[in-house]
Amino acid sequence: MEKLVIEGGNTLKGKVKVSGSKNASLPIIAATILCDGEYKIDNVPNLRDVRTLLKLLSLLDIEPSFNGNEILLKNKNDDAFEAPYDLVKTMRASILVLGPLLAKRRKARVSLPGGCAIGERPVDQHIKALKQMGANINIEHGYIVAECDRLKGADIYFDLVTVTGTENVLMAAVLAEGKTTIYNAAIEPEVIDLANFLKKMGAKIEGIGTKTITVYGVDSLSPANYSVMNDRIEAATLMCAAAITGGDVEIEGVPQECLTTVFEKLSETGVSIDFINDKRVRVSSTGRLKAADVTTQVYPGFPTDLQAQFMALMCVADGVSVITETIFENRFMHVAELKRMGADIRLKDRSAVVNGVEKLSGAHVMASDLRASASLVIAGLVADGETHVHRIYHLDRGYERFDEKLNSLGAKIKREENGV
């Protein structure tokens, strides 16, 4: 197992490029189940989660090959339909094969998912919706076992906003008989990217980017080539890294239309953000940042996937900030690790009260999930001495060459074996 050893105190300067979005790539890759033939998906980050999904697709007789950040996929028109526990347990997004398997192959056996330990993320909304569309679904021995004749269009009302639920039903609906309307749909940019890919395959979808999506089912689709959107969370994480070090970094490939709330909040802390063009942003800061309160919300609110990184920033800001997590009930596990580095944080219900300190000190810390690992790396950039971040397999699930990118900007980070 590997760890990162970070020597703090280095200012980040230079230029860096944002990778493609993991959270957009995964459903788009899963959607290739819907149609036989060959696909070319570009701008895909070479990440552990992506490779896990490709292994799963190979079990479903869809042959993948990686060439840089381009994936070639050949759907061989087989009838395999099982997503086994050994793969699904490591990545919750594996549930995304359920909808397209039912829509195309009329049956599915998908292990109940795992992934980051950030709280309950039940799939009951997925199951309820697919049952409404005519699927017969049971939970047997830890698996979702489902079958159907052709799915039927239905009015789907989500009790709460669910990104993967919206994506699963969207993929199921494009081959269903008749009209499906999804109410209280997620409007995240990654959902829009999936919908645009499905439309390129020949799907008929209206209301993309709104809370009500209407899908008119078609009899068949065609393979398509597609370029995945850039990763908005990676872009924002790089902004936090530049800001905490008092750096001056030009970030290329920033999906600016997706990050308005983040830009506003970083500006509130004293970070300078200059928009060079519609895809390039310069982030700089001088002097100590100011504390700012944050409440995570569904898109377009402040993203829960940036909460931990922003908290690292607030650990050394001037003043007291209150960070409230409304999406996941167990997403403060990084707090204990940040406190090991000298942060002054007090938890109260679903909020963290952060009293900014003058400086952090390097320590051995352990990543509990993907975004927590990024926050510990960010904190380590300004901590005195060395910070050892263990269990970085979480980081590698969602950030492509993150340590290499930071090193290119002047950070001093080594990847070593024997992490805890």
Give the range among 10-19, 309-318, 320-329 with minimum mean pLDDT.
320-329
Among residues 229, 175, 220, the alpha carbon closest in space to that of 197 is found at 229
Residues 165, 96: Cα–Cα separation, whole Å:
8
Q: Looking at the predicted structure, is the pLDDT value of residue 112 above 90?
A: no
Q: What pTM does this model have? A: 0.94
Tens digit of each residue's pLDDT (9 = 90 or more) over 177-203: 999 999 999 999 999 999 999 999 999
Residue ranges at the known binding site: 22-23, 92, 121-125, 305, 327
Mean pLDDT of 131-146: 93
Q: Looking at the predicted structure, is the pLDDT value of residue 296 above 70?
A: yes
User: What are the structural domains of the chain?
Assistant: 2-19+230-417 (3.65.10.10), 22-227 (3.65.10.10)
Q: What is the pLDDT of residue 87?
A: 82
For the chain, give the mean pLDDT: 94
Q: Looking at the predicted structure, is the pLDDT value of residue 113 above 80?
A: no
Q: What is the pLDDT of residue 122?
A: 66
The torsion angles phi and psi of 148, rounded to 5 degrees, stand at -165, 165
Mean pLDDT of 27-45: 97
- CA torsion 379-383-388-389 (nearest 10°) is 0
Tens digit of each residue's pLDDT (9 = 90 or more) over 372-407: 999 999 999 999 999 999 999 989 988 999 999 999
Q: Catalytic site residue 315?
A: no
Q: Looking at the predicted structure, is the pLDDT value of residue 330 above 50?
A: yes
Decide the pairing of beta strands 351-355 and 320-324.
antiparallel
Residue ranges at the known binding site for phosphoenolpyruvate: 22-23
Q: Looking at the predicted structure, is the pLDDT value of residue 120 above 50?
A: no
Residue ranges at the known binding site for UDP-N-acetyl-alpha-D-glucosamine: 92, 121-125, 305, 327
Among residues 49, 54, 41, 401, the alpha carbon closest in space to that of 228 is found at 41
The catalytically annotated residue of 116, 240, 258, 315 is 116
Q: What is the pLDDT of residue 420?
A: 46
Give the range among 16-25, 74-83, 255-264, 287-296 with minimum mean pLDDT.
74-83
Q: What is the pLDDT of residue 86?
A: 85
Give the range among 259-268, 290-299, 320-329 with minimum mean pLDDT.
320-329
Identify the burial level of 89 via C-beta atoms within 10 angstroms of its C-beta, where 0-12 means exposed, 13-18 middle and 19 or more buried: middle
Q: What is the pLDDT of residue 91?
A: 78
Q: What is the pLDDT of residue 218?
A: 98
